[in-house]
């Protein structure tokens, strides 16, 4: 597959997953625990993890 096709497919998958997750979160009753961790790698790249 070409780079354009892969790029298009990744964007399409991202958007559909984002929409599905938004629907599930809106339908969820109650609290949702979230943990966030931030750090900087040895080569000075910043990272954030959300679980």
Q: What is the pLDDT of residues 9-23, one digit of tens each?
A: 999 999 999 999 999
Domain of 43?
A: 3-50
Predicted TM-score (pTM) of the model is: 0.58
In sequence order, the 6+-apart residues with CB closer than 8 A to the CB of 24 are: none
Query: What is the rounded CA–CA span in Å between residue 51 and residue 49?
Result: 7
Rounded mean pLDDT of 14-41?
Answer: 96
Rounded mean pLDDT of 34-41?
Answer: 97
The overall average pLDDT reported for the chain is 95
């Amino acid at each position: 597959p070409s780079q354009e096709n892969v790029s298009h497919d990744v964007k399409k998958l991202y958007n559909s997953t984002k929409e599905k997750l938004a629907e599930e979160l809106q339908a969820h009753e109650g609290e949702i625990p979230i943990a966030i961790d931030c750090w900087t790698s040895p080569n000075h790249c910043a990272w954030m993890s959300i679980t």
